[in-house]
Amino acid sequence: MSVSDRIIKTEYSEVMQKSFIDYAMSVIIARALPDVRDGLKPVQRRTLYDMYELGIRYDRPYRKSARIVGDTMGKYHPHGDSSIYEALVVMAQDFKKGLPLIDGHGNFGNIEGDGAAAMRYTEARLEQITQEAFLSDLDKDVVDFIPNFDETEKEPSVLPVKIPNLLVNGSEGIAVGMATSTPPHNLAEVIDATKAYMLDENITTGELMRYIKGPDFPTGGIVINEDELSEIYETGSGKIKIRGKVEIEKAKGGKTNLVITEIPYTMIGANIGKFLMDVAALAETKKTQDIVDITNQSSKEGIRIVIELRKDADVENFKNMLYKKTRLEDTFGVNMLAIVDGRPETMGLKQIIKESVKFQYEVTTRKYTNLLAKELERKEIQEGLIKACNVIDLIIEILRGSKDRAMAKACLIEGKIDGIKFKSKESKIMAAQLMFTEKQANAILDMRLYKLIGLEIEALINEHEDTMANIYRYEDILARRDSMAQVIINELDEIKERYKRKRRTQITTEREAVYVEKKVEEMDIVFLMDRFGYAKTIDTAAYERNKEAADAENRYAFVCKNTGKVCLFTNTGQLHTVKMMDLPLGKFRDKGVPIDNVSNYDSSKENIVFAASQSDLNLYRVIFATRQAMLKVVDGGEFDVAKRTVAATKLQDGDEVINVVTYREQRNIVLQSKEGYFLRFALEEIPEKKKGAIGVRGMKLGVKDSVEAVYYTQNAVEQTIEYGGKILELNKLKLGKRDSKGVKVRV
């Protein structure tokens, strides 16, 4: 067969579509989303099963995490070791999981965002509840086992978890085109709700919420939108508003300390550091002057962030400011998405419990079917041994008279007496009537002589009675749904009693935090920005004292209100606004801050052409001139915008803004082209346009020519420039018309 015969021609888009769908489904089903039955993602399930297989139980010594990760990766999870170790770490962190599944030994990270130590240093073993409620029945054929990735091992398709783990521990994961975000809940409440559903399958979500009050985050906090929870639990999606817990303590000198003892679940990790920075920024930007000091006194005992306030601080208003301006109040997006029957599905509270209970019935049915089969087999053997003990003399005679095991076995099962020597005819007749089963015959032949002791026979009879009681019980459980339900409920009660704990998250309905921002006293200040783009503000007195130096050293220097804005026009036609309150008010020799840091302006992509205060622009019109000689006048009020960045003008392809000024006492405009043409004409010829317009052509340019400079003149005011080494008087240039070529100035 030639190479061309083996080439399969197909539509490229079809191949891409199929490949993407296959990849997406792989991520959704086999990596990112949990199964509703056990609430675990594949990597979590495989890690726990591998620890179970390695015998790393709760009552045995810890083993190196690297051993667990390596074994899991080699046997069951053919992906990066970091993803396996990360899953192991998260299952051991009590500040992320409502019910930790792994007992970690060593540095497993902390709530402030410090990561766990390398896997070669840490150790782990299963938690007791994991072994008892997640893995205990794996030996009873309660779940299906499937081949691993290379078909050399078997792994469970799902763990026989006895609780609705998806609700207890929650889950977070990002797949392709979808994501799951299920909050953790209180174990005791979830078990109570599960029992309530089992007793009444028509129970409503609202009735279930009498047991499950709401999420129970391991970090505590306060859920403040209790009135919205019913809709969230009905639909499986929504937003939970959660606040940190704040306490007020009296400090020395009449000061007040605001102490944060619990944080929102979303603040775990690096967001605690960001919160501290945000609080510090409130003081630096003069949003508040109530903060004296802030310290993070958190430890293993818990969160403790202390904000020391001034004596006369309005504590309640300051607390509300923290809720408004920082992540002390945050939103947890709920999307209870999980795999149901091999497909991703968003479920409400009742459906999750329903699927969990359905799974419990399936597991319990398989468990007791398996136990019943074993008890029936035990019953058969026990009855055979009891029967054999009643005719033990005959059996001994058969064994002594047989030539081999097969002959004796044939006699016990089928009554074949050929070739066997008996002591009497009665024995021969009785032997011919024996009808043991094959299992009973094997048990008799394997029986040891000490079993003939009276106490052993009595123990065998008692054991048979226990077996019959078990058979009756198992048959009753399998035959009657009420009996099976009671078994499941008893197991749930036992788990609840052993592992329950108090709720940590408070559920309330509170009004939105109202923060009254203190009014800033309006005053004049001076905006300064040097040629390097560093900006600051100083008071007018400091400017007057240093006016000459300030004007010489800075590209822009003008008076504006401290409550106003600065407008920055760039060569790309953009307008960036900066609140004066965002700029530091300092001394004349302070460096200031890069204007990039307080605005959307990007010095690597654009240049500032003009800067002015918002209040000035409102009083005047603004003249625009571009490289391609497009001109227009715009009412300055159009640039009084709320957005930080808007388009100040529309540009043609390849064009850029080269000049922007406010229209004050100017009478004429002079355009200078790259090839030495000058055109002077009256400003009245430039029409007023909207900021979204391109404008009109001001000068006819040659093919390769462009506007190089723009000047403005006033009547009876002499204005000169240096051009080509000579002084050129702009007022003496011939007054032309807009859209003409102008005059060539020889140098």
pLDDT of residue 114: 87
Distance CA 410, CA 427 (A): 16
Query: Is 215 within a domain?
Result: no
pLDDT given for residue 521 in this prediction: 75
Within this chain, do residues 300 and 375 fall inside the same structural domain, yes or no?
Answer: no
Alpha helices in 534-627 (DSSP H): 540-545, 547-553, 614-619
**563, two tokens:** 């409550």
> What per-residue confidence (pLDDT) applies to 1?
52
Residues 267 and 388 in one domain: no
Structural domains in the chain (count): 3
Q: Which of 251, 296, 247, 250 is nearest to 275 (CA)?
A: 296
Q: What are phi and psi of 67, to 5 degrees?
A: -65, -45
Tell me if 263 is assigned to some domain: yes
Element (H, E) at 351: helix 349-390
Structure tokens at 236: 């499986």
- Cα first-last separation, the chain: 80
Residue 114's alpha-carbon distances to 105, 108, 261, 269, 271, in angstroms, are 16, 9, 19, 7, 12
Residue 732 buriedness (CB in 10 A; 0-12 / 13-18 / 19+): exposed
Mean pLDDT in consecutive groups of 10 residues from the start of the chain, 747 residues: 68 77 66 89 95 94 96 92 94 93 94 91 96 92 92 93 95 82 95 96 95 95 93 95 92 84 90 88 79 88 90 86 91 93 92 96 94 90 82 81 85 82 80 84 79 72 89 93 95 95 92 69 89 91 90 91 92 93 84 89 92 91 94 93 92 93 91 93 93 92 92 87 88 90 85
Domain CATH number, residue 251: 3.30.1360.40
Question: What does the block give as tokens for 459?
Answer: 């123990």
CA–CA gap between residue 238 and residue 469 (Å, rounded): 51
| Residue 661: strand pairing partners | 623
Exposure letters 149-184 (e unless 16+ CB within 10 A, then b): eeeeeebbebbbbbbbbbbbbbbbbebeebebbbbb
> Is 570 in the same domain as 671?
yes
2 domain residue, yes or no: no
Range of the domain at 300: 245-327
CA distance 420 to 395: 12
How far is it, in rounded angstroms, from Cα 449 to Cα 148? 47
378 shares a domain with 317: no
Domain membership of residue 688 (yes or no) is yes
Phi, psi of 330 (to 5 degrees): -140, 175
* Whether residue 723 sits in one domain with residue 606: yes
- Give tens-digit pLDDT for 384-397: 888 888 888 788 88
Looking at residue 356, what is its pLDDT? 96
Does 537 fall in a domain? yes
Q: Are residues 528 and 468 part of one domain?
A: no
> Are 473 and 569 within one domain?
no
Residue 126, in any domain of the structure: no
Residues 487 and 628 in one domain: no
Q: Which of 260, 249, 257, 247 is nearest to 310 (CA)?
A: 257
In a domain, residue 654? The reply is yes
> Does the predicted model carry a pTM greater than 0.75?
no
| One-character DSSP codes across 501-518 | ----SEE-B-PPP---PP
Residues 492 and 539 in one domain: no
Same structural domain, 418 and 488: yes
d(CA 48, CA 131): 9
Which pLDDT score is estimated for 518? 64
Q: Are residues 492 and 591 in the same domain?
A: no
For this structure, is 121 an active site residue? yes
Residues ≥6 apart with Cβ < 8 Å to 585: 286, 525, 536, 537, 538, 539, 562
599 and 677 share a domain? yes
- SS3 string of 523-550? CEEEEEECCCCEEEEEEHHHHHHCHHHH
Tell me if 529 is assigned to some domain.
yes
- Domain CATH code at residue 465: 1.10.268.10
Q: How far apart are CA 82 and CA 88, in angstroms?
A: 10
Check if the beta carbon of residue 129 is closer than 8 Å to that of residue 499: yes
- The catalytically annotated residue of 62, 121, 197, 677 is 121
Q: Give me the CATH number covering residue 712.
A: 2.120.10.90
Which residue among 481, 498, 515 closes a domain?
498
